[in-house]
Structure 1
Amino acid sequence: MSLSGDMEEYVEVPTVLPAADFDPVADAHALRAAMKGFGTDEQAIIDILCKRSNAQRQAITEAYKKEFGRVEEGSNKNPRDLIADLKSELGGNFENVIIGLMLPTDEYCAKQLHKAMKGIGTNEDVLVEILCSRPYDEIVQIAAAYEKLYGSTLEADVQGDTSGPFQRLLVMALQGLRDNYAYDPVKAEEQAQILYNAGEGTVGTDENAFVEILGHAGQRHAYLIFQEYKKISGKTIEQAMESEMSGELLHGLLAMVKTVHNRPAYFAERLEVAMKGLGTDDDALIRIIVSRCEIDLANIKFEYERINGRTLLSAVKSEEEAGETSGDYRNALLALIGSA
């Protein structure tokens, strides 16, 4: 999407759809057969869990518990649990993909956020990717799952782990201060001028002005601001911010801007960053594919090929050839990405 012309609309297209003729009990038995005895049939696990919707995986978990979770009276054994059994049989990045798929998406994202903040240091890239790129209704669900899992609010933990304008940007995303329905061309022109005066038009940068305006602007209104900014400056808002700012605040603001223009393209760029250079950022690769496969991964695939001149499938396969992704881990990713 360019800064000229009308804002494009797109229909979200997933790569993982609910399986037809779904039988959770049959799947539960097939998974148990794949894990019992010597060795594990990893391909059978991929063929089932990577080709079912999240709701179907939850149904399989319940069926597995009913079929195999019974414990004899007086026994000190724990009831058999599908996720526990998968963890005991799998390992490494393959385990991370499969266990990620077994969690409801909001719970999975909540766990990723907690992982990014716990211990020494904070992975700001994960906070940005999850909180600055998603619609507010998704963020509400993630925040609720976070509080249920960890007993503290996501907002409180974000405030405890971040500071300054970056903290304000994340908190605004959590509080849902954007009005996604209102847009005002006159106000957009005024705000574009304020942003120009706060950055390019002065010595130094008033970062708070960018946070307050972009943190409140819904998608349509933000798009008008970006159009007006280019008329004033001759530069895109992205170019202006990249010349005026740096660090996590820049990344957060850019994520908001890019997802206004084209959310799938933003995630396509994130996937390329995860795979380029020496080594693969497996956490990012897994997180994006697992969390978007039932939302818009087909759109992300399209944008990835448009931007990079190669398909996402070929990119993941080339990572295997370089020794970065391999075996069952690679096969699980490819199953989620889909061939078409």
Structure 2
Amino acid sequence: MPMAGFPTMGYPPPQPGYPAASGYPQPSQPYPQQNTGYPPSQGYPNNAQGYTQSPQGYPQTAQGYPPSAQAYPQSAQGYPQAQTGYSQASPGYPQTDKYQSYPSHNQSQSQSQQTYSVSSNPMANTPESKPTVVPANPFDPREDAAVLRKAMKGFGTDEKAIIQVLTRRSNEQRLRIAFEFKTLYGKDLVSDLKSETSGKFEDLLVALMTPLPQFYAKELHDATAGIGTDEDVLIEVMCTMSNHEIHVIKQAYTAIYGTLLEDDLRGDTSGNFKRLMTSLCMGNRSEDFHVDQQKAREDARSLLQAGELRLGTDESVFNAVLCSRSFPQLAAIFQEYHFLTGHDIDDAIKAEFSGDLEKALRAIVKVVRNKPLFFAERLHKSMKGLGTNDRQLIRIMVTRCEVDLGDISNMFHSKYGETLQSWIEGDCSGHYKKCLLGLLGLY
């Protein structure tokens, strides 16, 4: 399953009035109407005979389409992604034959229960993350659009109203507000925000109003465009995304820039770092949450033989293992490596590799062990010393606020002995600072 806060349906989000699951409730309307029949004037003179024979002509209908009170709860268990995967099933019911091909409802029920049991076990073992921005409930996008219009109308700008609306809504809700804003006032909300604000505050608001796939695509494009490459951005995004997120980002990238993300990454990187980025760009990491301890031991031996036990390093082995194994499996591999060698795999990577490849491999290790700590270190680095890496600060705050920014803030405090809030207050100023604090739920 994709992370919370990341759009599951791509972009733009579905507009109000078009629920994703609209394909299923509709059959409950046409079937009861069959009892009334169609008048002969409409071209169905034999409807009474046709409908009485339907139980014989379609012996599997009673099994394939049980009453809604029974069928829908089971479909919610067996097909947890049905809301997104079958959003287009309503026009014409093109997938009816697929469901009729199941000879027995009991068999399909047992299959669905088996599917649910496999996918639900890892979710039960996954600790809940702590977002700092959650969808507003109740939510009225037109009322929010009116508040933003009032805040920017006439002389002066009510920045406090803008911050309180946009930092207390999810990314999808902000896009709904923009849609209603254009509907009501015939103006683009992002354009109005740009004209009424400036500097880093403007950059932060524009980031908040950008669909997440497009935002990530722009960050990756800017990291590779022009002279030089910002490898830190590539590492931060490509080493932390799930398969689903990588595929959605790739689609957004091609839609915006007309090129393939893989091609741009390969054209702007080189050597073993290029191979690592290419492997990660495939979005083909195993998502099996079952840990095979025997295979973990074998992979640990392979990593040891490819690195410390030979002259030179076989980078391809590290590339294959760290880019294809699931995160739980990688955690087991790292434990086995420590058992075999007596030291941590992070130390081995530092000794065997250098440059961007070392940074990327160590990033994968950190993400496997503690993803919030990885982002806490990135936030600390963005504000440490003279000056601020505002782009990195904005990127992490905007993309993680609906996922695990609460955990990141806790890790920041645990590692550095100071709160993330105090660092933001000491390093930023004005409405930019207030908006960042709003994403932390502190304004």
TM-score of the two chains, using structure 2 as the length reference: 0.69
1:89 maps to a residue whose letter is E
Structure 1 counterpart of 2:139, from 22, 30, 49: 22
Which of the two has higher C-alpha Rg?
Answer: 2
> How far apart, in 2, do the equivalents of 1:312 and 1:236 lie?
29
Structure 1 counterpart of 2:369, from 250, 261, 279: 261
Give ranges in structure 1 of 5+ residues lacking alignment.
1-7, 70-79, 320-324
> How far apart, in 2, do the equivalents of 1:338 and 1:21 lie?
18
What pairs up with 1:153-192 in 2 under 5 angstroms? 153-181=260-288, 183-192=291-300
2:418 maps to a residue whose letter is R
> How far apart, in 1, do the equivalents of 2:425 and 2:359 lie?
28
Match of 2:179 in 1: 62
2:307 is aligned with 1:199 = yes
Offset of 1:331 from its aligned partner? 0.4
2:341 maps to a residue whose letter is S
What pairs up with 1:16-95 in 2 under 5 angstroms? 16-69=133-186, 80-95=187-202
Match of 2:352 in 1: 244
> How far apart, in 1, do the equivalents of 2:379 and 2:141 lie?
32
Structure 2 counterpart of 1:285, from 393, 396, 409: 393
> How far apart, in 1, do the equivalents of 2:423 and 2:126 lie?
27
> How far apart, in 1, do the equivalents of 2:429 and 2:407 lie?
25
Offset of 1:206 from its aligned partner? 2.2
Offset of 1:215 from its aligned partner? 1.1
Match of 2:335 in 1: 227
Q: CA RMSD for the aligned pairs?
A: 1.5
Match of 1:312 in 2: 420
Match of 2:130 in 1: 13
Offset of 1:327 from its aligned partner? 0.3
Match of 1:113 in 2: 220
Offset of 1:339 from its aligned partner? 3.4
Match of 2:437 in 1: 334
Offset of 1:184 from its aligned partner? 2.4
Offset of 1:267 from its aligned partner? 0.7
Runs of 4+ in 1 over 6 A off after TM superposition: none
Deviates more, 1:124-133 or 1:198-207: 198-207
> How far apart, in 2, do the equivalents of 1:9 and 1:305 lie?
23
2:142 maps to a residue whose letter is V
> How far apart, in 2, do the equivalents of 1:251 and 1:311 lie?
26
> How far apart, in 2, do the equivalents of 1:282 and 1:267 lie?
15
Match of 2:240 in 1: 133
> How far apart, in 2, do the equivalents of 1:240 and 1:254 lie?
10
Offset of 1:277 from its aligned partner? 1.4
TM-score of the two chains, using structure 1 as the length reference: 0.90
SS in 2 for 1:263: helix
Deviates more, 1:150-159 or 1:125-134: 150-159
Q: Which structure exhibits the higher relative contact order, with contacts defined as CA atoms closer than 8 Å and separated by 6 or more residues?
A: 1
Offset of 1:203 from its aligned partner? 2.9
Offset of 1:120 from its aligned partner? 0.7
> How far apart, in 1, do the equivalents of 2:149 and 2:387 lie?
35
Offset of 1:36 from its aligned partner? 2.1
Offset of 1:124 from its aligned partner? 0.6
1:295 maps to a residue whose letter is V
SS in 1 for 2:321: helix
Percent of pairs with identical residues: 47
Offset of 1:116 from its aligned partner? 0.7
Match of 1:295 in 2: 403
Number of residue pairs matched by the alignment: 318
2:216 maps to a residue whose letter is C
Structure 1 residues 2-30: Cα deviation after superposition (integer angstroms, max 9, x where no partner)? xxxxxx84212210011222221121121
2:307 maps to a residue whose letter is G
Matched-pair contact (CA < 8 Å) for 1:180–1:220: no
Offset of 1:298 from its aligned partner? 1.0
